[in-house]
A and B are shown apart, each in its own frame.
Chain A
Amino acid sequence: MKGLICISLLMMSLILPATATGIVAPEVPDNVQQLMPPEENSFGDRLCYIFKEALNQMQPMVASGLKICVSVVGSVLIFAFVRQFEGKSKTFVDLAGVLTVSGLLLDSTNSMIGIGAEAVRQISQYGKLLLPVMTAALASQGGSVSAASLYGATALFDSVLCSAISSVLLPMVSIFLVLSIVSAAVEDEFLIKIRDFVRQALTWCLKIILYVFTGYISITGIISGTADQTAVKAAKLTISSMIPVVGGIMSDASETILVSAGLVKNAAGIYGLLALVAITVVPFLKIGIHYLLLKITATLTTAFVPKPLSALLGDFSVAMGLVLAMTGAVCLIQMISVVCFLKGMS
């Protein structure tokens, strides 16, 4: 009798609606919401939508960037004219040139560094919400070892990279800029060497973190993926052999459940990928456009500026390149992780 009641209660519980509410990708921040595409489109269409929306926002940014570049080219032209008067004033003319160009570029460069820092913070925060969801989804699909190792690696590298960027690398970019300005103003060899060292250190820090991360992901992907697949196969074999009569049917049903879990995981992962793209695309494009404009300005003015001023313009574009690389690196870590979660147990 008791058994019958228990079976009846269990059967009644089956009529309750069941949804995978725990395995839903977190909502994107409010400021990015307008970039998120409608869900009925394909992945490619949704990516196109995000890029189109982001490019629409770039117009004022391009206009202000062009204005700064015109100012820089104009001031460089004036200094090139004034420099033709040979004499003792040359040092001061060069100093004034460096100061004017730095004054024109510093404001926008500082604001780009701020945009980069904010983007890194937002990507990291979203990653902290998305990765547990992806971990749960992968674990529910049978990839508990992969999920744990992927989550551990991504969380570790993300926190290391974000802390390094906000507390070491971005301040180092500012120090690099100051060293560039001062070395261009006083043309001191020692300062130039320190500036080059800071630039090299920044580049190597980013490269090492990314190399270690991708290496770790590749190794754990191979090892834990195999372990999970073996465990799932063993579980299916156990179910089909241990339970008499219906064992085979239950084993097939478990396969269906795993496939469904995979679908839920893929949906969350694709939304997460799109959200990461939406969070990154605007700051990335802003910094990228600024970087390109600086490169173009540096190329345009190379012919008629003295060497220190030309090096200074190059250094400003290098600084933008570094901020761009930092933003891209954080986004790349998150995206690689999401792709690995999607690939796991597929």
Chain B
Amino acid sequence: MVHYFQTVAAVLLAVILVLVLKKGGSGIGELLSLAVCAMVIIMAMEYIGPVAELIRSIEQIAFLDNQIVKNLLKIVGVSLTAEIAELICNDSGNQAMGKALQLLASVVVVSLSVPLMTDLLEMIEGVLGGI
């Protein structure tokens, strides 16, 4: 938990620094906010480790199919990273890039969920085929 509070403090300090740098008119502010976001994501990965381990052990205990959970985690990862990237783009005044990123993320998420949709259709076909 110490790392978490250290990170929160660092982010708050970085926000003040970015505000000062932006007032100065330099582009280093955007770069700094990007670096801070990357740092926070790396920190989050550290905490995600035990959760991923738990999910894996639940998978084993519950005899679950790995593929659906893998796809699910990919979908979550894609949508979260796209959201962060979009916010950074918006902060730096590049709304068009943010929107494009959002579109890309949506398409990737839909393409990742195609196997799920196929499974759903097959399931319905299987149930109704027996009638």
Specify the main secondary structure of chain B where it touches its partner: helix
Are B128 and A175 in touch, CB under 8 angstroms? Answer: yes
Give me the 4 closest cross-chain CB pairs, A-B, nearest first. A74-B62, A89-B79, A171-B131, A71-B62
| In the complex, chain A residues whose CB is within 8 Å of the CB of B119 | 99, 103
A206 within 8 A of B: no
| In the complex, chain B residues whose CB is within 8 Å of the CB of A92 | 72, 75, 109, 112-113, 116
Interchain CA distance A96-B59 in the complex, whole Å:
15
Are A181 and B131 in touch, CB under 8 angstroms? Answer: no
Are A82 and B76 in touch, CB under 8 angstroms? Answer: yes
Specify the main secondary structure of chain A where it touches its partner: helix
Question: Can you give 26 A-B contacts (C-beta < 8 A)?
Answer: A74-B58, A74-B64, A78-B72, A79-B72, A81-B55, A82-B55, A82-B73, A82-B76, A89-B76, A89-B80, A92-B72, A92-B75, A93-B75, A93-B76, A96-B72, A96-B75, A99-B116, A99-B119, A100-B64, A100-B68, A102-B120, A103-B65, A106-B127, A110-B126, A181-B123, A182-B124
Interchain CA distance A92-B109 in the complex, whole Å:
8
- Counting chain B residues whose Cβ lies within 8 A of the other chain, the interface size class is 35 or more
Nearest-CB residue, chain A, relative to B102: A88
| In the complex, chain A residues whose CB is within 8 Å of the CB of B79 | 87-89
Known: A88-B83, A88-B106, A92-B116. A177 touches B127 (CB 8 A): yes
A293 within 8 A of B: no
* Chain A interface residue count, Cβ-Cβ cutoff 8 angstroms: 34
B61 within 8 A of A: yes
What is the distance, in angstroms, from B112's C-beta to the closest C-beta of chain A?
Answer: 8
Residue from A77, A93, A99 in contact with B120 in the complex, judged by beta carbons closer than 8 Å: A99
B33 within 8 A of A: no
Interchain CA distance A298-B119 in the complex, whole Å:
23
A85 within 8 A of B: yes
| In the complex, chain A residues whose CB is within 8 Å of the CB of B78 | 89
| In the complex, chain B residues whose CB is within 8 Å of the CB of A74 | 58-59, 61-62, 64
